Amino acid sequence: MFEKGIVLKSTGKWYDVELEDGSLVKCRIRGKLRLDGLKTTNPIAVGDVVLLNDTIDEEGNRLISDFEKRRNYIVRKSTNLSKQQQILAANIDQAYLLVTIHSPETHLAFIDRFLVSAESFRIPTTILFNKIDTCTEDDLEYIDALAHMYERIGYPTHKISATNKENIDFLKAEINNKQVMISGHSGVGKSTLVNSLDPNFQLKIGEISKAHKQGQHTTTFAEMHKLASGGYIIDTPGIRAFGVVDLDKAVISHYFPEMRAMLDKCKFNNCQHINEPHCAVKEAVESGEIDESRYATYMQLMEEDANDIHRKNIYG
């Protein structure tokens, strides 16, 4: 007889699972689970729906025997030497990418790479520009320009201050009864935002390193928090660089909405939008219809060797 539950916390070997009756149990994996061909460092991730058998080990842990097929998941490259992936979270209804333009700076290439990965897994994404209370007028003009760039290709954006609970009321309504993920660099204010969304949360908040302008890694693994109002928030580890994995270069342009909209206008069906003649995408870049920064990220992805570009930390 199996009992079903949802993974709230994963540390790689041990898991906190919420059962259907709302109770929490400590679990570990029984043997090797089927991984559907995925080379991952973590076979189970937060958000996974797992099946527990009746066995309890000598330490009082329940055993995970299997997990249900995922609706989607999002991964990043593992930082170890094995060319594997780390599943950040599974079964995501909505992703929110938290962005700051300083302390720390979120580079556009990082934003674009995250969006490409989310597109490839069909995860809707909203961009949240945080810490606007610390922005100058020039900063706000720059944020407005970025917001316009992303909104015109279909990504909702909001300017927020995570410490101001009034300007995140819209977010409370959006995440109600959903399983959402909040991601971004360390130090952009993820934990502050999560704490503001539910007064019962008291996540550890890291201080920005004055020397490096990057956040201290207060979260070392993803964790899912149950909202008192209903639904769950997945708080991911701070990501310094985002390696897009396992995407066929022949279809990377499909994950850029503005390119996808004009693929049928290129002369060649297999146009890679690099050196081919009569390329609608390149013409759109030249005319300003497609932003140069977005095309630059596309070219980086097309030229990128699979040899662990993420370790160079050039994207954040």
What pLDDT digit, counting tens, does each position of 114-159 carry?
A: 999 899 889 999 999 999 999 999 999 999 999 999 999 999 999 9
Q: Residue 40: is its pLDDT beyond 90? A: no
E strand intervals along 13-121: 14-19, 24-29, 49-56, 62-67, 73-77, 85-90, 94-99
* Domain match, 220 and 129 both: yes
Q: Identify whether 313 is part of a domain.
A: no
Q: Pick the residue with more confidence: 85 or 107?
A: 107
As a residue count, the chain comes to 316
* Domain match, 197 and 111 both: yes
Q: Identify whether 129 is part of a domain.
A: yes
* Domain match, 196 and 262 both: no
Q: Identify whether 81 is part of a domain.
A: no
* Domain match, 124 and 42 both: no
Q: Identify whether 315 is part of a domain.
A: no
Q: What crossing angle do the helices spanning 108-120 and 292-303 adopt, rounded to 10°? A: 70
Q: How far apart are CA 263 and CA 270, in angstroms?
A: 9
Q: Identify whether 256 is part of a domain.
A: yes
pLDDT value at residue 214: 41
Give the pLDDT confidence of 44-70 residue by residue, as tens digits: 899 999 999 888 888 888 999 999 999
Residue 19 has a CB neighbour count (10 Å cut-off) of 14
Q: Identify whether 268 is part of a domain.
A: yes
Structural domains in the chain (count)? 3
Q: Identify whether 77 is part of a domain.
A: no
* Domain match, 63 and 163 both: no
pTM score, two decimals? 0.84
- Domain residue limits at 265: 250-304
* Domain match, 167 and 281 both: no
* Domain match, 157 and 285 both: no
